[in-house]
Structure 1
Amino acid sequence: MHSHLKLSLAMTAGFALGAAVSQGLRAQQHPPAYVISEIEVTDAEAYLRDYVPLANRALAENGQRRLASGGRTVTLAGAPPATRVVVSVFDSLEKAEAAYTSPAYLEARRIGDRYGRLRIFAVEGLPQ
C-alpha cells in the first residue's frame, strides 16, 4: 500500500512542478514586435538587385518573419503610405532592434540608402 501512496504523491508533485515551470516560462516570454518599413524606391532595378537580397538574408538570420512585402496597399485614413511597405514580426522588440543594428543589415542598409528612402519602425505587440 505504501508503494501506491508514494507513486501517487510523486505523480502529483511532478504534475504540480511541471505546471509551475510552464507558467513561469509563459510569464517570461516577451510580446512579439512588429516592424513596419515604408520605402520610397528611387531605382527599382538596383534596389531589387543590390539591396533586397542582402537585407532579406541579414534580417532572416536574426529572426525576421515577413508577413507582407510590397503587396497592394490601400489608404484607409490619413496620408498614403510609401510606394513599398513591408511588415514583419520578431519574437521581441529587443530581437528586432538587434536585427536592424546587426553589422550585416547595416551594410545592406548603406547600399539600400542609395536606391530609396526608408522609414522603419517597430511596435511591441500584445502578449500572445
Structure 2
Amino acid sequence: MKSNFGIAMAMLAGIAIGAVAVQGLHAQGAKPKAYSVSESEVLDASALAAYLPAARKAIETAHGRALRTAAGRVVQIEGGPAPKSVGIVEWDSLDDAVAFYKSKAWAELAPQRDKAVKVAQRYVVEVER
C-alpha cells in the first residue's frame, strides 16, 4: 500500500515539474514588447492632418498600436530642449517594429511625411520582461 502511495506521489511530482518546465519554455518563446519613438517638428499642419490617418492605418496593418501622442504636450525635464512633437507606437516585438520601418508601406508614405514633419530622430526601445 505504501509503495502505491509513493508511486502516485512521484507521478504527481513529475507532472508538476513537467508543467513548470512547459511554462518556462513557453515564456522563453515570447518576445518582449517594443515602442518606437519619433521626435519631430510639424512643418505643415494641413499636410500633417492628411498624413496621420494614412500613417496610422499603415501602422495598424502592421500590428502596431499608435498611442496618439503626436499632438500631445511635451515637457522637458532633463537634458537638452524637448522635441516639439513625439509619436509613440507600441509593437509586439522589436523585430516587428524594425520590419515595419523598413517596409514598402512605410517607404511609400515618405513624400507625405516629408511635407508634414521634420523628424529629428526615430528609435525603437525594447521593454524588459
Give me the identity figure in percent: 30
Give the Cα–Cα distance (whole angstroms) in 1 for the partners of residues 6 and 111 of structure 2: 68
Q: Is the 8 A contact 1:59 1:100 kept in 2?
A: no
Q: CA RMSD in A?
A: 2.4
Distance in 1, matches of 2:127 and 2:12, equals: 38
Q: By how many angstroms is 1:43 displaced?
A: 0.6
Say if 1:63 and 1:99, in contact at 8 Å, map to a contact too: no
Alignment of 1:1-128 (within 5 A): 13-49=14-50, 51-70=51-70, 71-118=72-119, 119-127=121-129
> Do the aligned partners of residues 10 and 108 (structure 1) sit closer, same or farther apart at CA in structure 2, a change above 3 Å counting?
farther
TM normalised by structure 1 equals 0.79
Q: How far apart in 2 are the matches of 1:57 and 1:7? A: 56
Matched position secondary structure for 2:67: strand
Structure 1 distance, partners of 2:34, 2:111, is 24
Q: Which runs of 5+ in 2 are unaligned?
A: none
Query: C-alpha separation between the residues in 2 aligned to 1:61 and 1:17?
Result: 38
Q: Distance in 2 between matches of 1:107 and 1:113?
A: 11
Which sits farther off after the overlay, 57-66 or 8-17?
8-17
Equivalent AA in structure 1 for residue 78 of structure 2: A
How many residue pairs get aligned? The number is: 126
Q: Distance in 2 between matches of 1:59 and 1:66?
A: 7
> Deviation per CA, 1:53-112, whole angstroms, max 9, x where unpaired?
111111111121233512111100122232221122212111110111121121112321
Alpha-carbon displacement from aligned partner over 1:34-61 (angstroms, at most 9, x marks no partner):
2111121111111111x11111111111
Conserved 8 A contact 2:94-2:126: yes
The answer for unaligned runs of 5 or more in structure 1 is none
